[in-house]
Amino acid sequence: MKHQPRWRQAWTITRIELRRAFFSKRALWVFALALFPSLIFLVYHMQSLITPGLQRDFEEDRRIFAGVFQFFYLRLAIFFGCLGIFMNLFRGEILDRTLHYWFLAPARREALLAGKYCAGLIASIVIFTCGTLICFGIMVWPHNYLEVQAFWQNSWKWQALWYAAAAAFGCVGYGSVFLAAGLLMRNPIIPAAILLAWESINGFLPVLMQKASIFYYLQSLCPVPAPVNQNVPGLFRILLTPAEPVSRSAAILGILLITAAVLWLARFAILRMQISYSTE
């Protein structure tokens, strides 16, 4: 590995880490998070199959899916899924006292950082985009064939694509933050709590500060705005109301810029990192 180009070193590390990302015991609850909304929609539609005369409204179900996707999938499932996948890439190895083996290997630390990030990114994108598409398919499945066919011809493919893209870019953004946190912080609870609080108060922030939030850009990628219950008290309605979206190209650029800045900091952290298991 010593004389290989950096990209080849990174790809070798990626292949090794992918096995852990997909098949370790720590990944089981990530799969559960990704598939939980599909189970909810399956139970929801089973009621219409076993209850005579109960009809589901297609437009209403699409709005429900938009709410579930934004309020649960983006804010919670992908957030905590990336926490579990990316935080353990370095922090997990420190706790297991195995990180020094990577540092002794004939590979540059930048390649190690890139390889681990790519492994976590591939795993999280596959898990959560597949979970999104499965849930979307279950949402569409029980409805009238002609209604679904018309929806397919008009916008179904694009809506499914943008929901999957929002899930993928959520993994890109949150993954970089938690990877860097795993390098910089001993306790993952602290950065996770701070980031979750920051993302949650996004609606209260000035426009300029909202642009420092990953969720602000992810909302702009969603094809259907999330519904807001008008019976919710005013303070919570403000919290739940989506911010004014930016264009999709601007949203993608914003996430990529945040990710690049965070990975740039992570690079400096890993270059200066010294392992001392006695302090962990």
d(CA 191, CA 249): 28
Q: What local confidence, expressed as pLDDT, does residue 240 receive?
A: 52
d(CA 73, CA 40): 12
Q: What are phi and psi of 113, to 5 degrees?
A: -60, -50
Residue type at 175? G
Instruction: Give per-residue pLDDT as tens, 185-240.
Output: 777 778 888 888 887 776 666 666 777 788 889 988 988 776 655 454 444 455 55
Q: What local confidence, expressed as pLDDT, does residue 171 receive?
A: 95
Measured CA to CA in angstroms, residue 139 lies from 55, 87, 271 at distances of 13, 32, 47
Residue type at 77? A
Q: What are phi and psi of 102, to 5 degrees?
A: -65, -40
Q: What local confidence, expressed as pLDDT, does residue 9 receive?
A: 81
Mean pLDDT, rounded, of the chain: 79
Query: Poorest-confidence range of 34-48, 92-106, 185-199, 212-226?
Result: 92-106
Ramachandran area for residue 97 (φ above 0: left; ψ -120 to 50: alpha; else beta): left
Q: What local confidence, expressed as pLDDT, does residue 263 receive?
A: 93
Q: What are phi and psi of 97, to 5 degrees?
A: 60, 45
d(CA 217, CA 270): 28
- For residues 102 and 96, the answer to whether their CB atoms sit within 8 Å is no
pLDDT band at 155 (very low <50, low <70, confident <90, very high): low
d(CA 77, CA 87): 15
Q: Which residue has the higher pLDDT, 100 or 222?
A: 222
Q: What local confidence, expressed as pLDDT, does residue 48 receive?
A: 64
Spatial CB neighbours of 125, under 8 Å, sequence gap ≥ 6: 167, 168, 171, 172
d(CA 129, CA 34): 9
Q: Which residue has the higher pLDDT, 66 or 50?
A: 66
Listed ranges 86-95, 203-212, 236-245, 247-256; the one with the highest mean pLDDT:
247-256
Spatial CB neighbours of 107, under 8 Å, sequence gap ≥ 6: 1, 2, 9, 12, 13
DSSP one-letter string for 218-267: HHHH-SSPPP--TTS-HHHHHHHSPPPP--HHHHHHHHHHHHHHHHHHHH
